[in-house]
Every structure is written in C-alpha cells, then in structure tokens.
C-alpha cells in the first residue's frame, strides 16, 4: 500500500528513505523532526514498513504526508537483507535524482545537513554518494585508540595465519563503507548503471559502493565531527528498540538513556 499527500508543487531535488521495523517510539521522533524541518519543502519522504504488524505500522498509516509502502514477508529474512530489499522498493519509485538513506534512530536537529551534503554531489557529478564511515562521534582519543587496536589485531591475525596457526580471519582495520544512518546517493547514476542497494548477501550499499567506484565514481567522506554537528544517531538503536539485545547490553542502555533524554527535551518544548 502506498499513501501519498498533496501539497503545493515545488521543485523536488531529493527524497528521503526510511525503513521501519517495530520501532514505534524512535520512528515517531525521527519523522516528527523531519516533518518539522521539511514539512513546507515538498520533500518526498518514503517509509517502508517491513511487516512490523505492531503499533508502529498503525502510526505510519495515520500520516498523510509520507509515502508508505507496507512490505509483506513470506519467509524469514536476515535483518540486513530485509532492509536492503525495502530500500530497493523505494529506489524503484523515487523520481528525484538524489536519495537520502536514513535510519529511524537518526534524529536531525539542523536541516542544513541536507543542502550541505547535496551540494557536494551537485558540484561534482562524479560523486555517487556522500556520508560517514562511522556510526557515532567517538572523539579524537577514542578514535585513535580504536584504530590502533584494530590495526594491531589485524596484523597479529595475519602473522598467526602466515605461521599456520589457527586464528580468525583478519578484519579490515580501516572503515571504508558509508553507513546508511544518513547517506546521500545519486540514484540517477545508480539506475543508469542498472544497480541497486541489495546486490548480494552483504550489508546493503557495500557492493554498490564497490561497483560504482570501480566504474570511476567516487564517494565523499564526512568526518564524524562534521555530520554529528547536525544530527544524533543511536548506534544499533533500531536493533535495541526491537528487543534485539538483552536489558543489560550496553547498546540497550545507550538506547534507553538517549530516548529518555529526547522525551525529556520534547516535554520542554
């Protein structure tokens, strides 16, 4: 089912894509903020409900200013596969050249994040995407420590492997893939080359990024400090909201603390 709203037509440069799965509280906060910032801008907001069958689905049906797609799932799917298929449903339908991918645990407080990212693509038509490779702003000290520890672990595992010892496969120590909590894609280019977000069993967008860069396109990387000056993101907040972690997990605690703060701030306005 797709429900659309009518408004005074203005040029539409970009659309926004969201996927909801059993996250009623944070989905409402996310969409309320988007409507507050973009309600008069004629920006198409597309939301796929991934067969939540809960109060979040009922809530989305009440919004006449979003384009709602209710996706039915015939058999169990891994979370990232379901998410990727949902994004591709939106990609098929949008008629704008650019598409912002967002998560329902992304809360935009400064709408200038949209023109800031959009201008980078418009100024350079070889840029296929703009975004950040980190899901939160750890600060300089924590970032350096994380990079250093991953670098040491990577080379230690390679050393053990070369010596014929049993070890886990070395993981990349440097993040290279854009995280979709707030990423801008040039969907005109994606469609032109017959590609989409879910191209295999990897995280949606990873193979797309590899394929487009192999064709000579580039991605623009934003620093965590830059992008998080415009928004907040709860790392794995959608998983925590859907009960994917136990109550004592650090990400569940992070989710509850941020949600409590947001609700408190909302009560003051």
- Give residue-wise pLDDT tens across range 17-28: 999 999 898 999
Q: Is residue 55 part of a domain?
A: yes
Residue from 131, 151, 96 nearest 208 by CA: 131
Model confidence pLDDT, tens digit, residues 196-240? 999 999 999 999 999 999 999 999 999 999 999 999 888 644 444
- Kindly provide the b/e burial profile for residues 41-52, where b requires at least 16 CB atoms within 10 angstroms of the residue's own CB: eebbbbbbbbbb
- Number of other residues whose CB lies within 10 A of the CB of residue 63: 16
Q: Which of the pair, 2 or 133, is modelled with greater confidence?
A: 133
Which value, in Å, is the radius of gyration of the alpha carbons in the chain?
A: 19
* pTM value surpassing 0.85: no
Model confidence pLDDT, tens digit, residues 168-207? 775 665 689 999 999 999 999 999 999 999 999 999 999 9
Give the whole-angstrom CA distance, residue 155 versus residue 172. 10
Residue at a domain's end among 174, 202, 224:
174
- For residues 141 and 130, membership in a common domain is answered with no
- For residues 146 and 19, membership in a common domain is answered with no
Measured in residues, the chain has a length of 269
Q: Is residue 62 part of a domain?
A: yes
Domain count of the fold of the chain: 2
- For residues 127 and 20, membership in a common domain is answered with yes
Please say whether the beta carbons of 227 and 8 come within 8 A. no
Write the CA distances from 158 to 163, 206, 245, integer angstroms: 9, 24, 31
- For residues 83 and 125, membership in a common domain is answered with yes
Q: Which two tokens stand for residue 124?
A: 């350079």
Please say whether the beta carbons of 205 and 102 come within 8 A. no
- CATH code for the domain of 212: 3.90.550.10
Percent of the chain with pLDDT over 90: 61
Q: Is residue 244 part of a domain?
A: no
Q: Which two tokens stand for residue 16?
A: 């926004």
- For residues 104 and 127, membership in a common domain is answered with yes
- For residues 82 and 160, membership in a common domain is answered with no
Q: Is residue 255 part of a domain?
A: no
Please say whether the beta carbons of 204 and 82 come within 8 A. no
- For residues 102 and 211, membership in a common domain is answered with yes
- For residues 103 and 159, membership in a common domain is answered with no
Contacts of 58 (CB under 8 A, 6+ apart): none
Q: Which two tokens stand for residue 201?
A: 């069993």
Please say whether the beta carbons of 79 and 85 come within 8 A. no
pLDDT at 82 over 80: yes
Q: Is residue 32 part of a domain?
A: yes
- For residues 100 and 190, membership in a common domain is answered with yes
Give residue 191's pLDDT. Answer: 97
- Kindly provide the b/e burial profile for residues 150-188, where b requires at least 16 CB atoms within 10 angstroms of the residue's own CB: beeeeeebeeeeeeeeeeeebeeeeeebbbbbbbbbbbe
Q: Is residue 75 part of a domain?
A: yes
- For residues 52 and 162, membership in a common domain is answered with no
The residue range of the domain holding 120 is 14-134+178-233
Q: Which two tokens stand for residue 247?
A: 């109550």
- For residues 107 and 204, membership in a common domain is answered with yes
Q: Is residue 250 part of a domain?
A: no
| Least confident stretch, 133-142, 163-172, 245-254 | 245-254
pLDDT at 35 over 60: yes
- For residues 222 and 163, membership in a common domain is answered with no
Give residue 258's pLDDT. Answer: 64
Q: Which of the pair, 169 or 35, is modelled with greater confidence?
A: 35
Give the whole-angstrom CA distance, residue 17 versus residue 101. 5
Q: Which of the pair, 40 or 138, is modelled with greater confidence?
A: 40
Q: Is residue 1 part of a domain?
A: no
Question: What confidence tier does 242 reach under pLDDT thresholds 50, 70, 90?
Answer: very low
């Amino acid at each position: 089912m797709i429900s659309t709203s009518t408004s005074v037509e203005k040029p539409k440069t970009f659309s926004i894509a969201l996927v909801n799965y059993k996250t009623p509280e944070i989905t409402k906060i996310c969409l309320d903020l988007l409507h507050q910032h973009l309600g008069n801008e004629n920006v198409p907001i597309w939301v796929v409900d991934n067969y939540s069958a809960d109060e979040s689905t009922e809530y989305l049906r009440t919004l006449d200013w979003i384009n709602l797609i209710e996706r039915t799932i015939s058999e169990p799917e891994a979370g990232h596969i379901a998410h990727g298929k949902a994004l591709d449903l939106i990609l098929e339908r949008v008629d704008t050249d650019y598409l912002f991918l967002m998560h329902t645990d992304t809360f935009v407080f400064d709408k200038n994040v949209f023109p800031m990212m959009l201008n980078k693509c418009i100024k350079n038509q070889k840029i296929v995407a703009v975004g950040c490779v980190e899901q939160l702003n750890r600060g300089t000290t924590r970032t350096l420590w994380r990079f250093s520890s991953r670098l040491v672990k990577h080379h230690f595992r390679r050393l053990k492997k070369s010596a014929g010892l049993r070890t886990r496969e070395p993981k990349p120590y440097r993040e290279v893939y854009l995280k979709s909590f707030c990423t801008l894609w040039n969907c005109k280019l994606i469609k032109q080359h017959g590609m989409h977000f879910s191209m295999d069993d990897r995280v949606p967008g990873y193979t797309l990024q590899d394929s487009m860069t192999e064709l000579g396109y580039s991605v623009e990387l934003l620093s965590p400090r830059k992008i998080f000056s415009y928004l907040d993101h709860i790392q794995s907040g959608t998983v925590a909201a859907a009960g994917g972690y136990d109550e004592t997990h650090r990400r569940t605690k992070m989710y509850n603390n941020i949600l409590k703060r947001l609700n408190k701030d909302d009560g003051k306005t």
